[in-house]
Amino acid sequence: MASFKAVRIDKTDTGSQAAYVDFDEADLMEGDVTLRVTHSTVNYKDGLAITGKSPVVRRFPMIPGVDLAGTVETSANPEFKPGDQVVLNGWGVGEMHLGGYAQRARVKGDWLVPLPAGLTPAQAMAIGTAGYTAMLALMALEKHGITPAMGPAIVTGAAGGVGSVAVAILKHAGYHVIASTGRPEEADYLHGLGADEIMTRQDFEGPVRPLMKERWAAGIDSVGSLTLAHVLAQTRVRGAIAACGLAQGMDLPTSVAPFILRGVCLLGVESVTCPKPLRLEAWARLAKELDRAKLASMTTTIPFDRVIDAARDIVQGKIRGRFVVEIP
């Protein structure tokens, strides 16, 4: 029986356990496209899956990895043929459907997008769900009518994956970018990506008043909790914040004051089931607008046998920017 190398998460008496295994091809799940996976990446959610810190895995055994890039081997889907290069983000892959930390994947063709023109598979994974979500957040702000002329944009969790891409694309869009980080030693890195000002995480630690001094008109928040509450209280009249993450926590200890007294809007960003036309638009814009030198500066490439360690590191906030996983 043919097998391939994969990371597999199994349920245990005390939770779950991730290990490198030889996975039986016959155990791949249903799908109309089979892929040779060449690259994957490490997102915060992959860290949650591998450490078991949050119950993101809803089927065992599971191959984690919410992102993959690869080449079509066989396809019963009219949109794809053998040899096509494709990218997959989300759709429950790595949570409910066997994911990207494997040499092979079998998935629904409807979940795939063609590798965007001008990007290599490695660059697409350097962007990954984190970067594609940052672009969805920028698109949400634009759709709401926010422009750089209205004022600066804040990025929280700036040295992380979503944050790093957000800093670069907001700068490209013409914003004065304020990067908030718990790692002030990454100031040079963030300035290199386009940050005009750096704030520390401590700036968002004190008690939140319903309204505070107006500072920014836009924001991309991947942190949630008290940080997002501070960000909202300091958003200018008619500004908007796109919220996509919970690195600090899922709670939001805010009041209605920013919404009803300043007309501030909180825009939710969800990448997993995002409809295909929006995905294609986000990827096309990333291919065009994300500076390749900046992308390279935020990318670390790791071999397949380091992915479990990297997933443990990301939930401890130890990873800077984006990781690309080379699948052998």
The binding site for ligand NDP (CB under 6 A) comprises: 43-45, 129-130, 133, 157-163, 181-183, 201, 222-223, 227, 244-248, 269-272, 314, 317, 319
User: Which CA distances in Å does 139 have to 208, 274, 283?
Assistant: 28, 13, 11
Comparison of 130 and 327: residue with beta carbon closer to ligand NDP: 130
Comparing CB distances to ligand NDP, the nearer of 63 and 319 is: 319
Q: What are the tokens at 321?
A: 């920017």
Residue facing ligand NDP at closest CB distance: 160
Q: Is 92 helix (H, G, I), strand (E, B) or coil?
A: coil
> Residue written as tokens 């990448």?
271
Find tokens 């960003």 and name the residue. 269
Closer to ligand NDP at the Cβ: 72 or 242?
242
CB of 45 to ligand NDP, least distance (A): 5
Question: Closest approach of Cβ 83 to ligand NDP, in Å?
Answer: 30
| Closer by beta carbon to ligand NDP, 75 or else 271 | 271
Compute CA 198 distance to the chain's CA centroid, rounded to the nearest angstrom.
21
Residues present in the chain in total: 328
127 close to 295: Cβ distance less than 8 angstroms: yes
- Shortest spacing between CB 91 and ligand NDP, in angstroms: 11
Check: CB of residue 146 under 8 Å from CB of residue 220.
no
Q: Which is nearer to ligand NDP, 129 or 299 (CB)?
A: 129
Q: CB of residue 35 vs ligand NDP: minimum separation in angstroms?
A: 22
CB of 156 to ligand NDP, least distance (A): 7
Euclidean distance between CA atoms 188 and 63, whole angstroms: 36
Identify which of residues 140 and 150 has a Cβ nearer to ligand NDP in the complex.
140
Residue 15 C-beta: closest distance to ligand NDP, Å? 19
- Burial class of residue 278, CB neighbours in 10 A (0-12, 13-18, 19+): middle
Beta strands in 284-326 (DSSP E): 299-303, 322-326
Handedness of CA 210, 212, 214, 216 (dihedral sign): negative
Would you state the structure tokens that stand for residue 43, as one six-digit string? Answer: 């997102």
Given the complex with ligand NDP, which of 100 and 160 has the nearer CB atom?
160
β-partners of residue 68 are 88
CB of 116: closest distance to ligand NDP in angstroms? 18
Closest separation in Å from C-beta 313 to ligand NDP = 9
* 80 three-state secondary structure: coil
Beta strands in 26-66 (DSSP E): 33-41
132/304 with CB nearer ligand NDP: 132
